[in-house]
Structure formats: structure tokens, C-alpha cells
Amino acid sequence: MIDEQLLNRYRELADRSAYSGIYVYTDFHSLSGASYAYTVADKAFIKLWGGAEEAERVIVRFGDPKDIGYEEDFPIRIIHISPIQPKFADKLTHRDFLGALMNLGIERDVIGDIYVAESEAYVFVCEKIAGYIIEELTRVKHTQVKCVITGTIPESVRPKLKEETVTVSSLRLDGIIAHVYHMSRTAAKSLFSSEEVFINGALCTSPSAEAKDTDVISVRGYGKFIYDGVGRKTSKDRYAVNIRRYI
């Protein structure tokens, strides 16, 4: 079901950018919510970014760089949350960190992805709320914590990419998804009609669509992978397709 309230909000922001000649940003949305932006404005007028290539929650930016004349960083900050006394810290989960953040009385939409490692986390947040979180978040469960702004995330806590090759009879996206996630072609095809498939954040409803090299394919409920193109053709005239799957 289309979220008319969200669509109207996107139209308002897109119009504001067009009339004022500046970039206009949303808060964080899931890819499915963010993809509605493509129904109210041209693709060149929209950019999605969550702070990292693999981010599941993204901010929508309205504004064409060619018209505005300059680029601009997204209003996203990364907060590193770590225990003050690591030796006595609880082993904390994604749910623990999200719960502690929500207990501050802030909206879910100002929080992006959360990467967790043992008792610490790296959280993408809207710039406007970063200072408040740093000042107010002092405890997660029973663990006292400190919060600081950081510019990087250690590779050890980021989602990993696994290189794989799948062999398919055609380059249709439903066939590739079926092989990547080990499901029937019928099940893969149904994901398109139920609006579960996204290419670079844009909703894809055509099972026969073909991906381009470096496209990021997201399948809600299953994960995402990067399409790296055809590696070779087999002796049986099938395609050996290279991907990098997030694990």
C-alpha cells in the first residue's frame, strides 16, 4: 500500500529544493520508504545515502548538482558508543543500543544503521540530534557508556562481502535472485510484484530487468548484493555471473 502521507512530504521537499535552488534532506527511511521519492521527482534530482555503501536506512536528498552548482555532504554523523569500564561491561546487542537511544525520547527516523561489536556500537544519526545524544546517552542496560563523534568505522564491525559466482540461463534479475538466495524462480518473481526488490535504492517491479555492473540489489527480508557482471559464458551457453553478497 502506498504511503500517501510520505509521498506528499516528498513532493513538498522536492518542490522546496526546486524553488530555492538548495539541497533539501529527509530524515532516515528504510529503502522501501525512500524509494517512493523516485515517483515524485526525476532520478537526477534524488540521491540516497545512509553514511555507508551498505547502509539499510538512508536519507533522501532532493536537488540536482548540475542545477545547484556544487556538491554537499549529507547531514549525517557517526557516534561511537563505548563502555567507560570495558572490563565490567555487559555484552550488548543491536536491540540494547536502539532501546537506549529510543529511551532518550527521540524519533526512530533520526537514527540510521547501528553496527555492533561486543559492548560497543557505531551509530549513524541525523546531524541535528548528534549533540543531544552525546550529552544524554550515559547508560545502555547496566553499562555506563561514553559517546563521541567519529569519522570512520573499523572494518571489523562493518558487514562483510562474500564473492560468489552464480550460473544462470539468462540475465533476468528474477533468475539471478533465485540462485543467489536459493529459492524457486516463481518465489523470486513474486518478490517483484510485492515490491521487495530495489536497485540502488529504487524500487524495481520488473522481473525481467537486467542489472548493470556495480548495481546494488536489495531484497527485503533476504539481504543485498553487488552485481559485478558476467564473468564468462559456459559451454552450455549459460552465464556465469559474479556478485558480492553482504553477509
Q: Is the pLDDT of residue 102 over 80?
A: yes
Domains along the chain?
4-68 (3.30.1370), 76-157 (3.30.70.330), 161-246 (3.10.290.10)
Using pLDDT thresholds of 50, 70 and 90, give the confidence band for residue 2.
Answer: low
Span 53-69, mean pLDDT? 95
Q: Cα–Cα distance between 247 and 243 in angstroms, integer? A: 12
Which pLDDT value is given to residue 12?
A: 97
Q: Cα–Cα distance between 246 and 223 in angstroms, integer? A: 7
Which pLDDT value is given to residue 146?
A: 98
Is-contact 196 221, C-beta < 8 A?
A: yes
Which pLDDT value is given to residue 116?
A: 95
Q: Is the pLDDT of residue 129 over 70?
A: yes
pLDDT in tens, 191-239: 999 999 999 999 999 999 999 999 999 999 999 999 999 999 988 889 9
Using pLDDT thresholds of 50, 70 and 90, give the confidence band for residue 35.
Answer: very high
Cell of 228: 559485478
pLDDT in tens, 233-243: 988 889 999 99
* CA dihedral sign, ordered 88, 92, 97, 103: negative
Proportion of the chain above pLDDT 90, given as a percent:
90
3-state secondary structure of 180: helix
Span 40-56, mean pLDDT? 94
Which pLDDT value is given to residue 1?
A: 60
Which pLDDT value is given to residue 176?
A: 97
Span 31-35, mean pLDDT? 91
pLDDT in tens, 147-174: 999 999 999 898 899 999 999 999 999 9
Pairing of strands 143-150, 161-168: unpaired
Using pLDDT thresholds of 50, 70 and 90, give the confidence band for residue 99.
Answer: very high
Q: Euclidean distance between the first and final Cα of the chain, in Å?
A: 30
CA atoms within 13 A on the CB side of 151: 1
Which alpha helices (DSSP H) does the chain contain, by range? 4-20, 31-34, 65-68, 94-102, 127-136, 173-180, 185-193
Q: Is the pLDDT of residue 45 over 80?
A: yes
Which pLDDT value is given to residue 124?
A: 98
